[in-house]
Structure 1
C-alpha cells in the first residue's frame, strides 16, 4: 500500500461516521496535491483533513481517535493524538493573548515544547510539577515537533519525580556555541559573551533584555523574572551555561532560565560582525519562495502551512514575499534568503503586483515561477549576516559571471 493510499484510508476512517466519502475520493484529493502540486505528504494530509472538517462542520478535536501513551522521544508524527506523563521543565512568556501557557515538557527521554491555548480554558500547570496529559495532539514546524493541549485534554497532577532528560546547570553537556552559529530554536547551549546593550523591559515578567556579543556577532537575550537570576552588567563578559535558543522573524535569540548558570569572566571580547559576502550563479529557487502568507499575530511571523501557524493554529495570514535561493560559484554553494524588499529588487515584482498575479491565476505559485524565469542562471554578488546555513541578503548586485558557463552549473546542480 502506497503512503498516499495509507493516508487516504486513515482519513476515511476519521470521517466515515460524518461524511459520505470513499477511500478513492480521499486518495484522489491527496494524489493531486502530492503528485501534481508537489505538496509534501504530511502537509497534503493536513490540507485534506481541513477540507473535510469544513465540509462536515466539525472541529479537529471531534475526529480524534484513541490516543496512545507515548514518551517524548518517540514523537515523530504531526496530528497524532497521544497521552504523555511529563514534568513542566520551564514556562515561557506567551507572545499572544490567544496562548494561555507555553514552555517545555520533559520526561526520561527528552524535552519538547508545549502550547496551551486560551480558548481551551484548561487549568494552569506549574513549573517543576509532573502531570499526566491525556488527549494532546502533536504538531510539527520546520521538522521540530511540539505538543498542543486542547479543550479535550485531561490534566492530572502526578506525585512522581521524573528523571527528566534535559540539561541541568553545571552538567557541562551542552555545546559551547558562538552566537552567529545559532540556527535552531529550543536548543540548550553554553555561550561566553559580552553584554553590549541593556534595554528597558516591556513587561513585568521580564527581568532583563538586551544584546549579547562575541567574536562572531551579536544576538538578543531575555532573562525572565520568574527565573530569579542575578542581574547582568552592561559591558561585562559572562559565561552562560544552559541557555535556550529561540527564533522570531528569522532572528535567533537566547533565553536565560532558572537552570542557567552565570559566571563573570575577567576578560574583554571584541564583538565581531558576522556579515559575509558570496557570489555565484543562482541555480535554484527553493520551495517556500514567492508569495507566501505569514501569521498575523503580534510577535509571530511564521510562514503558514495550509493556512495554519504552528504556534496559533488556523489564522487569516498576511501576504509577504521572499526568495530562498542557492548560489553556486563552481566550487561551493551558498543558500540565501531574500526578504520582501530584496525579492522585489531581485525579481522586479512588488508585493501588490504579486498579489494581483496570484488572484488572476488563482494560484500563488505563479509568482515564484515568474521570478524563477527571470533570475535563474544569472550571476549575483550578495552580502549580509549569516543565519545558520543561510545568508540573509541585505545588499545585492548582478555581475558578470566567470568563464564557467552558467548552463553547465545549472546542469551540475540538477544532477546533485
Structure 2
C-alpha cells in the first residue's frame, strides 16, 4: 500500500502538513483500521473538505457526523476565545454555537473571521467532526464566512448569559454573574512550567460550581460579586467547572449576587443515574465504615493516603497523621461512599487528632479509633451534603455537611403520606 500517495492526497485536500497526515494514517493502519475508514477519520479530525466534492448545503439540524463538509446559514449565539496546544504549538481559537430554526451546533474557528455574537452568517465549506458523539463545525483556512445583512430569526437565546445551574460541559463564550464563595491561589505544573492559578467555588441563586482562573485576576477574591464575560465550561471530577482565561473580562459588581443556601435534595438512585453533581443533599443510613477510616497517614508531598510508610508516587515517606471517615451510605434507592474530612471526623469521633493518637497509642492499635467512630454513626440516619462523583468504581460523595437526622421517622412517614394523598 502506497501510504505516501494517500497522505499526499489527504494533506492537499485538508490544507495540513503531509508529514502529520502520514504519521496519523500509518498509526491507524497499524491498528487494522480499514483505509477508507482511516481516511474519513482524518478528514473529520482536521475538518476536511470532503475529498474535493462540493460541500452539502444543509440546515443545522440536519448536519451529521458522517458529513465531510457543509454550507450552513445561522445566527451566532455565543463566541468565546481561548488558547490551546495543537501539534506542539500554541493556537488561539474561537468557539461557540450557531443556530437556525432547525437546531444548534457548536463550532471551532481556527482562523479569524471577524463575526460577532448576534450576526447572521453563511459558512461555506465548514468541516464536520464528531465531538462527544455530536457533530461540530470546524472553520479552517478553506472555510468562507459571509455576514448577511438580514438577521435570521431563531428560537434560541442570543448571547452567553447563563445561571450556574444552566451550565454544561462544552459551553463556550458564556457570561455569568456570581459571588466568589471560596478562593485560593496555588501553583501547579502547567504546560509552560510552574503556573499560578486561582481555584474555588462560585455561587448564585440557582447553584454552586467550582471554578479555575488560569490568569489570576486580582478582582476574583472570596466574598466578591463579579461578572465574568467569555468563560468556558469543562468537566472536572464529573461536574461542570467554570474556566476563566486571559480572554475573560472580569468586572466587579456594585451589587451582591445572592447565593443559594440550600442544595437540591435527591434520592441517591436518582442522583447516581443523573451523574456527578457538585452540590447535592442526601438522606439515608450509614450501614458500615470502610477500611481506610479513622487514624490514617498521608504523604507529605502529594497528600495521598499511604500504607506502611509507602506512597504510590513517592515511595518511602514519613507520613503525616490525619483523620478520615469513609462511610457506606444507603437510602434504599442506591449506595455511595461518603467521605468525611478531619474536621467532620473529629466532630463524629468526639475528639481531636491528638486524642485519636493517644487512644491508638494506649491500645497499641489504631483500629480502635475506627471502631469508636463506627459506634457513633453505623445504623443511624444522616443528612449529608456535598459533591457527588460517579464513575466506573461507583458513587462517592465528598461531604461538606454531615449530621444525624433527629426528626421522628413516624412524622416523616405521615408527611409523605399526606403529600402522596394530596
TM above 0.5: no
- Determine which structure has the larger strand proportion and give its number: 2
Q: TM-score, normalised by structure 2?
A: 0.40
Q: TM-score, normalised by structure 1?
A: 0.40
Return the index of the structure with the highest Cα Rg: 2
